[in-house]
Chains A and B, each alone.
Chain A
């Protein structure tokens, strides 16, 4: 049967092209792979090959023709003994691309991703009243979380630099090698990109890896595997393949280690759909959130803090204590201003609230605890009550979590605001080494107090 040869699309963006030259003439016999013509696209001049064998019956578009639209018939191929008149015309409509039909997308609005007014989650207590408490450092709480989950699930293992024999560069994995052995507590070479990828592959294979980065600064070496492989595969596979794993380690500034070792990546990871992101402040949250993270079927970025590792907090003495993701914690109730923070930023937020109380300003302090999912409801409810908001974080000021919250509050509680939201962040500079400069590069309690006074017009 005679078939039409259509002007091909030869690049992702090509809509029309120039038929530069015919390399066959009417009556020529061609076989699959022979070049029929040269076509100039928006990118280059391409050779256009025959797909099937046949005879060139008729050339419909002369060489040198410009602006030939994709899918325009340019020639007719016939089989031996067949005439050109047998060719169907025009091109069968069923073959045209959906892109060339009436566009449907702008008419049908895409469904929204989340309900317009999420509920405040922080109202429920994390543990029952009267629960026995014990004092623990954040470091111990994290270790206990991993040990408990490893005891209950044989799929869980820890890998990273110095996690086993050295007992952890910051001693977070202390004792795990003794209890679980070298099969499940694995020292890796210093090769973040490689072992992050191996961790993701092991998760595809049905295990539940905990990949420790000695610090999140080094995770930059592995960011392709975290974003492109871990976060996106569930979506790209249409839900067939998940990545149940945790990437954890200290994040943010330590002390006097300079620009390459002092950076808060919270906003970077929180931007990525497919990742969950936790950044605890207290030991109880560190334990409860890490246990939830290990059980979560999705990839979790778990951002710890070196300065907080040695800090002690009260932790509930429960057999299986977990904290759900997407539930903020109200550390302090207040009526004059809402201070929203997370991770080590909470230290400045709480200190500021304490001092502000002495001056008669009653601050409500919210710890987001997880940045993805984020408990928007608790923030909005609080702002509706106080009508003022200050955000506090250690990261850079451009594209910060606070920027996002400000926009969210503006869109969802604009009429309740009595002052613009202020974002307290680290300064827009690489971290300096000198002690005095470093102190000023970080967010400070004084800045938080100043911001609160500004939004309360004191």
Chain B
């Protein structure tokens, strides 16, 4: 099945289009900076960059409403920036500092924001899938018409718990959009070598879950598919699957020599399909923006990212007392869903 393409004429306003450009560029520049800080030893451990996949989260965030929830795996920096979390707090968590979202106790893979309804940041492949369905379970219980975006990769799509979750989500009609970010490589194993079928979006069909394939290098196609999936969930029709074909330009993590694919393959995607370049072209060709307008956005983003790096370097390491806090809580930090 061919990937679904957006209508030739964008169905969004020039202002929205500019916003997508800005949001995608923020993720890219932020991730480039994170890669740089990693190289300097300021970020440790694992660091999974989102470069190349920006259109996925930006397109889906454009389909979300206030109160909708999102949860994802360890490749999570883009999701956090796209839902409006503060780049300073994200970068400072990457450097393990007090000013980070988790006070330096979570790191790249484990960050949360109650305010932005971002439920992590999970380091175990596939574990976020039942968790996301559980968030949707809570919303269903509360009958509040909220939708949860549950992101996972083509690698996680082979985990058993994903199918346990598909079954219950369909059985109980949970308002959850399962977003399969198919970047074609589960760490270093290509989809062809790991997955018995070409199409992952059809894997919900045996459970009665509708799914479709989406061009993840086209933010407008993602937004359009997101609108459809969200409407389905909000109407009480149960879960929906979006398999979004995307591509990560960088390695699985920082220490990935990327010998499982050719340099030419990556270069071809960058040159021909890049999601940011696509929107840039749309803006310029449609005369919605001038080169100068875009330069101003580039400058603004560069300043935000540089400021976040500065913040992340300046913020002190957590106090040693932090070792012993947040193991148990005296109250439920996120509060009770139904107040007594």
Binding site for B on A (CB under 8 A): 6, 8-12, 14, 32-33, 35, 41, 43-47, 51, 70-71, 94-100, 105, 108, 110-111, 113, 152-155, 157, 183, 188-189, 191, 193-208, 224-225, 228-229, 233-242, 244, 273-274, 276, 297-298
Contacts and interface: CB of A to CB of B under 8 A. Distances in A.
A374 to B, nearest CB: 13
A246 B84 CA distance: 33
Given A189-B167, A194-B168, A235 B105 contact: yes
B138 interface: yes
Given A46-B257, A194-B168, A198-B165, A71 B105 contact: no
A98 B317 contact: yes
B115 to A, nearest CB: 9
Q: Taking each of A51, A96, A235, A240, which has the highest tally of chain B beta carbons within 10 Å of its own beta carbon?
A: A240
Given A71-B41, A99-B44, A205 B332 contact: no
Given A191-B168, A274-B328, 16 more contacts: A12-B44, A32-B32, A46-B255, A183-B141, A194-B130, A198-B133, A198-B165, A200-B134, A201-B135, A201-B136, A202-B141, A239-B329, A239-B333, A240-B333, A241-B334, A297-B333
A238 B255 CA distance: 27
Contacts of A32: 32
A244 B161 contact: no
8 contacts: A71-B41, A99-B44, A152-B340, A191-B168, A197-B161, A205-B135, A208-B336, A235-B105
Contact of A45 (B32, B100, B257): B257
Interface stretch (B3-11, B121-129, B226-234, B276-284): B121-129
A206 B119 CA distance: 12
Nearest to B322: A238
Nearest to B103: A238
A110 B319 CA distance: 10
B105 A236 contact: yes
B332 A99 contact: no
Given A97-B41, A237-B102, A206 B337 contact: yes
B35 A51 contact: yes
A237 B106 contact: yes
Contacts of B132: 201
Contacts of B141: 157, 183, 202, 207
B235 interface: no
A244 B332 contact: yes
Given A97-B42, A238-B105, A241-B334, A198 B328 contact: no
B338 A298 contact: no
B130 A193 contact: yes
B73 to A, nearest CB: 13
Q: Taking each of B110, B111, B336, which has the highest tally of chain A beta carbons within 10 Å of its own beta carbon?
A: B336
Contacts of B44: 12, 97, 99
B304 interface: no
Given A193-B130, A204-B134, A242-B334, A11 B255 contact: yes
B321 A95 contact: no
Given A194-B130, A194-B161, A228-B123, A95 B313 contact: yes
Nearest to B331: A297
A276 B164 CA distance: 27
**B interface, over-half SS:** loop
A16 B102 CA distance: 30
B329 A242 contact: yes
A97 B94 CA distance: 12
Interface in B117-171: 119-124, 127, 129-139, 141, 160-161, 164-165, 167-168, 171
A197 B131 contact: yes
Contact of A225 (B130, B137, B254, B257): B130
A189 B168 contact: yes
A225 B164 CA distance: 13
A198 B169 CA distance: 9
B323 interface: yes
A233 B118 CA distance: 13
A203 B121 CA distance: 16
B206 interface: no
A71 B41 CA distance: 8
Contact of A229 (B101, B131, B168): B131
Contacts of B127: 197, 224-225, 228-229
B330 interface: yes
A36 to B, nearest CB: 11
B236 interface: no
B53 to A, nearest CB: 15
B113 interface: yes
A136 to B, nearest CB: 27
Contacts of A12: 44-46, 254-255
Contacts of A235: 105, 326-327
Contact of B102 (A155, A199, A236, A297): A236
Nearest to A11: B255
B40 interface: yes
A33 B255 contact: no
A9 B35 CA distance: 10
A51 B33 CA distance: 8
Contacts of B38: 8-9
Contacts of A208: 336
A208 B332 CA distance: 10
Contact of A242 (B113, B130, B167, B332): B332
B36 interface: yes
Contacts of B270: 33
B189 to A, nearest CB: 16
Contacts of B326: 234-235, 237-239
B321 A111 contact: yes
Contact of A201 (B133, B171, B254, B257): B133
Q: Taking each of A100, A110, A276, which has the highest tally of chain B beta carbons within 10 Å of its own beta carbon?
A: A110
A41 B255 contact: yes
A456 B112 CA distance: 55
Interface string B222-256: 00000000000000000000000000010000111
Given A46-B255, A200-B131, A241 B112 contact: yes
A47 B216 CA distance: 26
Contact of A233 (B100, B120, B129, B337): B120
B258 interface: yes
B313 A10 contact: no
A198 B334 contact: no
A273 B141 CA distance: 30
Nearest to A91: B40
Contact of A239 (B36, B168, B317, B325): B325
Given A33-B249, A111-B320, A153-B340, A201 B164 contact: no
Nearest to A208: B336
A276 B258 CA distance: 43
Q: Taking each of A9, A44, A198, which has the highest tally of chain B beta carbons within 10 Å of its own beta carbon?
A: A198
